[in-house]
A = this chain, B = another copy of it.
Amino acid sequence: MEKQLHVELMKYTPVPIEIIATAARLCYSASDIHQLLENMSGEKGEKLLVKLMEMGHESPLEHAVFTFGIEGISRACTHQLVRHRIASYSQQSQRYVEEKEFDYIIPPSIAGDKELKQKYITTMEELGNLYKDMGSKIPIEDARYILPNGCETKIIVTMNARSLKNFFMRRVCLRAQWEIRRMAIEMLRLCKAASPLLFKNMGAPCTSTKICPEGAMSCGKWKAIPGAKIMYKGEILSKEEIEDKDK
């Protein structure tokens, strides 16, 4: 059965800005930690956070940690996800959990073509039946070798805000693969709901650092962002400068 993406923000460091601002302030202050924490609990902490983000002083972001429950994603997607090493993962195992329901993800390019979609669904169902069949003769951990990349999986992910910043830069970008991008956008939406200021400028590089690193591969979105530039063959160019080059 087709499965839709579902992301939940399960747990996170309470009042994350407070601890980030306190940690950042500690580096430059002789005060007691307790005193700093009180001081940084309201607007003052928020002001410091804005400054930190502008200066690119990222290490204090690590003290705020977020845990997501993610369902309705394919194994193709999690194989990319778990390459992010500054994170913790617990994933449903295909060695131990039998795929009884056999849920799967349908890529939009397939969903949009009636004929292809029908072929895709039929194939998934046939593979599901073959899997069950094989599973009666051999261990499910071997039967799964015929299961497709599109097969649904579930995963719990914990990342700190610094690692999330990097994750969003790589995966919210239009150049990322559509499924991990859709998931990253949903994670970012939940983060922004939990702490709007902390995640305000997080996202693709064009919004996050105002530099598109994609060069000739760029989608061009950066041109619409005030002050944004592009990295092109080792140079940082403005909209005007790159248009000059193109002439």
Contacts and interface: CB of A to CB of B under 8 A. Distances in A.
A177 interface: yes
A99 B247 CA distance: 39
B146 A150 contact: yes
A75 interface: yes
A65 interface: yes
Chain A interface size, as a band, is: 35 or more
Contacts of A1: none
A95 B177 contact: yes
A104 B147 CA distance: 13
A74 to B, nearest CB: 7
A107 B92 CA distance: 21
Given A8-B33, A82-B79, A149 B156 contact: no
Contact of A236 (B14, B154, B229): B229
A65 to B, nearest CB: 4
A141 B178 CA distance: 9
Given A24-B90, A146-B150, 7 more contacts: A11-B15, A28-B97, A88-B160, A105-B145, A110-B134, A211-B211, A236-B236
13 contacts: A10-B22, A11-B19, A29-B97, A33-B156, A34-B69, A53-B234, A59-B89, A60-B90, A62-B158, A88-B160, A110-B145, A144-B149, A227-B236
